[in-house]
Structure 1
């Protein structure tokens, strides 16, 4: 069987099993928010599988696996701290889903997260299986942009957490650092990561398939679980203060305040 098929299938089987175990744990602790932690760390699992099994040019494979692992670990640690610090309290967006979904729907939701792990890893498979013995300039550009976007996403997450930790900021809208220029700088850098991955993948055979990543991530951010649900929860919790923030601050791309 071609590695283009076998490695994704092996990855899917492993992360699907992981998500079954996490779903059972979520049932026990009544907190479906833990799915976010393991969605992010599943990319580390897939990066390890790719590193062990893919037979592409080793330097390219090492580079893509290292970047995927770095991003996964960074995001996984952040979410572990954010969600793990209050396992007894489910986040607002998952509380809202709990009102509408039963256990079975959540099971399929967890499995869809596992499937999305594999689908979003398509560029990683493609890059790691590229046997060309030379890394191109375009690939290096994609890798550098990917690394910079990981830093940007990390900075925006840290600034938000730092703001929330200050007692005097309770109930206020975060306009600290990058959050003064974008209502969702973390989503901006997350989307930019997948654009960078696409650039990295383009010189590889079938690299154009990586376009599925920014398209699907963009759809989720703009239409499903990203900006819409986050802003609905923010309006519920912060009311008029957040509505004022919406009027003055760019929704996505960091930019200057509107007067």
Structure 2
């Protein structure tokens, strides 16, 4: 396919992402729960990926990317939905809502939460776009990408399961999770997520999609500096006794030995 075809597909994906998140926003307003956007983050990638695949003529080779994307997206959305069920709006969005009327926040959230995330999704998904545009496939990179993706997928899943199990015990309320994978880094789930996207980047490269790597870089930046590690560290340092000491002893992202 030509560069013009690629740009056309990208903009169709962007429009599809915006449409999905606008629909989610419409459901979020009467519920007063902007965190619904998080539940549809993973599913949004699946929606855009399948649209691109269909518009590109349903290339068979693209399934080497689509299968892991679908598995990742379904697991992530299911996990977030299960984790947040019955807990109301996430504190991040409650803080943004404070001091604003419901109509004012609804208008603001459409642009600064839902459309922003929809736009980020389309850019981050560039490795997926590479898989539907590529005419050739370098299988050694595919195998490497699958291996990296699988490691990250399992690591993230185990970390999420361990944290959920920890929170089930009422005696752990307000305590710092420092067991299992959480003993070796403060955010093993985010580490797994970064590795997952490195795997997607490698698969995209297997299709010749070097131009898709900024999508991976954007995802890693968001996890490290915006909505992931940095944000959660600040909040937990303020709300969890002992978290500062835990942070002093434990790597933020990459697993490593406990520092004494």
CA–CA distance in 2 between the matches of 1:131 and 1:40? 27
> Is 1:202 the equivalent of 2:205?
yes
Distance apart, 1:111 and its partner CA = 0.4
Residues 199-238 of structure 1 show CA distances to partners (whole Å, capped at 9, x for unaligned) of 2222323x11222123212221222111122122212321
Give me the whole-angstrom Cα distance separating, in 2, the residues matched to 1:258 and 1:121: 37
1:42 equivalent in structure 2: 44
Q: Which residue of 1 aligns with 2:166?
A: 163
CA distance in 2 between counterparts of 1:115 and 1:103 reads 18
Structure 1 pair 191–100 and aligned structure 2 pair: CA distance change class (3 A) = farther
One of 143, 147, 153 as aligned partner of 1:144: 147
The answer as to whether partners of 1:146 and 1:196 remain within 8 angstroms in 2 is yes
Provide the residue aligned with 1:129 in structure 2.
Answer: 133
Q: CA contact under 8 A between 1:56 and 1:131: conserved in structure 2?
A: no
How far does residue 146 in structure 1 lie from its aligned partner after superposition? 1.1
Greater mean alpha carbon deviation, residues 1-10 or residues 144-153: 1-10
Please list, as runs of the form range in 1=range in 2, the aligned pairs for 1:87-126 lying within 5 A after superposition: 89-99=88-98, 102-108=105-111, 109-126=113-130
TM-score normalised by the chain length of structure 1 = 0.90
**Runs of 4 or more consecutive aligned structure 1 residues displaced over 6 Å after TM superposition:** none
For the 8 Å contact 2:126–2:213, the answer to whether it is kept is no
Q: Which moved more, 1:163-172 or 1:2-11?
A: 2-11
Matches of 1:137 and 1:57 in 2, distance apart?
20
Alpha-carbon separation, structure 2, partners of 1:63 and 1:255: 32
Contact 1:194 1:213 in 2 (8 A): no
Maintained 8 Å contact 2:53/2:59: no
Residue 79 of structure 1 deviates from its aligned partner by 0.7
| Unaligned segments of structure 1, at least 5 residues | none
- Return the alpha-carbon distance in structure 2 between the equivalents of residues 137 and 18 of structure 1: 35
2: CA distance, partners of 1:226 / 1:104: 25
Partners of 2:144 and 2:202 within 8 A in 1: yes
Inter-CA distance 187–234: structure 2 relative to 1 (3 Å threshold) = same
Which of 208, 213, 222 is 1:211 aligned to? 213
TM-score after normalising by structure 2 = 0.90
CA contact (8 A) 1:8 1:125 kept: yes
Q: Deviations over 1:168-187 (max 9, x none)?
A: 21111111211111101111
Question: Whole-Å Cα distance in 1 between the matches of residues 99 and 133 of structure 2?
Answer: 42
How far does residue 257 in structure 1 lie from its aligned partner after superposition?
Answer: 0.5
Count of aligned positions: 253
Residue aligning to 2:177? 174
Q: Distance in 2 between matches of 1:75 and 1:159?
A: 15
Give CA-to-partner distance per residue, 1:87-129, whole Å, 9 cap, x none: xx22222222223773333111210111111111111111222
Is 1:67 matched up with 2:68? Answer: yes
Q: Name whichever of 179-188 and 208-217 sits farther off.
A: 208-217
Cα displacement (A) at 1:135: 4.1
Unmatched runs of 5 consecutive residues or more in structure 2: none
